[in-house]
């Protein structure tokens, strides 16, 4: 069992994705066809529930992209549902300590090979092709990928310890919440916020983990890549929808 996204992260490839905020399978499939390396199914701030997630995963696969599911919180039962639905890569929000990171990693692993996995076992889930992959439970741990989101002052302070946790594949910065945590709500470009972002990037690089971040524009994404980020989410489906619509309206209205 292979997780292409996990392999590409480990190889240090530069990967670009997009957030799925509309919970629309049609929009997800279209963006997958556009060529994004990964698409994030947002279980935290979009209306997507478990059934929506499955439809979105099907759409992403049809378009040839790779899925990342952001669970609503760092909870084992939410991770279990997302994994069973068919996404081997999960994004855990608000990770602020090494213990948080270890809890996230444990939730994506079955208890085997001496590792502290707590994922519940069910053999007839979509991820196992409804029981047609008999070796799934023995191979799933190797394919499971944990991306932990650092978006608080506490997370920045613990970034090195978080990056050192076995099983963490990438650190991912959430600039908006990080700015709020540092007292700069709505101003992720603030110098203090940018210094904190660099601290997370440095921690990831020291521990040889991939470093990811959300970028609100192509210019911002290009700047983050130049700084060393290799996993960049380029805004969201609703952002591009509104940007294109507003641009067209402005053009026709003069």
In contact, 5 and 38? CB cutoff 8 Å: yes
Work out whether strand 210-215 and strand 231-236 pair parallel, antiparallel, or are unpaired: parallel
- The backbone torsions φ and ψ at residue 232, rounded to the nearest 5 degrees and listed phi first, read -120, 125
Q: At what angle do helices 76-85 and 98-107 cross, to 10 degrees?
A: 40
> Looking at 7, 33, 45, 50, which residue is catalytic?
45
138 is catalytic: no
Give the ranges where 86-190 is alpha helix by DSSP (H).
98-107, 136-143, 153-157, 159-163, 175-181
Cα dihedral 186→205→171→40 (10° resolution): 90
**CA–CA separation, 169 and 148 (whole Å):** 8
Paired tokens of 210? 């991939």
Catalytic residues, by residue number, are 45
């Amino acid at each position: 069992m292979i997780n292409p996204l996990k392999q590409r992260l480990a190889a240090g490839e530069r990967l670009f994705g997009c957030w799925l905020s509309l919970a629309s399978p049609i929009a997800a499939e279209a963006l997958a066809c556009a060529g994004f390396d990964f698409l994030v199914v947002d279980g935290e701030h979009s209306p997507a529930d478990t059934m929506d997630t499955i439809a979105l995963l099907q759409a992403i696969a049809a378009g040839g992209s790779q899925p990342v599911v952001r669970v609503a919180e760092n909870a084992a039962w939410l991770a279990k549902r997302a994994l069973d639905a068919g996404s081997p890569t999960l994004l855990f929000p608000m990770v602020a300590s090494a213990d948080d990171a270890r809890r996230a990693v444990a939730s994506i692993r079955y208890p085997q090979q001496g590792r502290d996995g707590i994922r519940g076992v069910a053999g007839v889930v979509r991820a196992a092709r409804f029981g047609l992959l008999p070796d799934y439970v023995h191979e799933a741990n190797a394919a499971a990928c944990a991306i932990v989101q650092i978006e608080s002052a506490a997370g920045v302070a613990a970034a090195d310890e978080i990056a050192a946790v076995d099983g963490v594949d990438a650190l991912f910065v959430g600039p908006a919440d990080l700015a709020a945590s540092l007292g700069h709500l709505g101003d992720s470009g603030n110098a203090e916020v940018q210094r904190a972002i660099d601290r997370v990037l440095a921690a990831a690089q020291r521990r040889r983990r991939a470093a990811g971040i959300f970028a609100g524009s192509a210019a911002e994404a290009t700047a983050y890549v130049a700084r060393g980020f290799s996993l960049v989410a380029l805004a969201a489906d609703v952002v591009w929808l509104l940007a294109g619509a507003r641009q067209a309206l402005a053009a026709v209205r003069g």
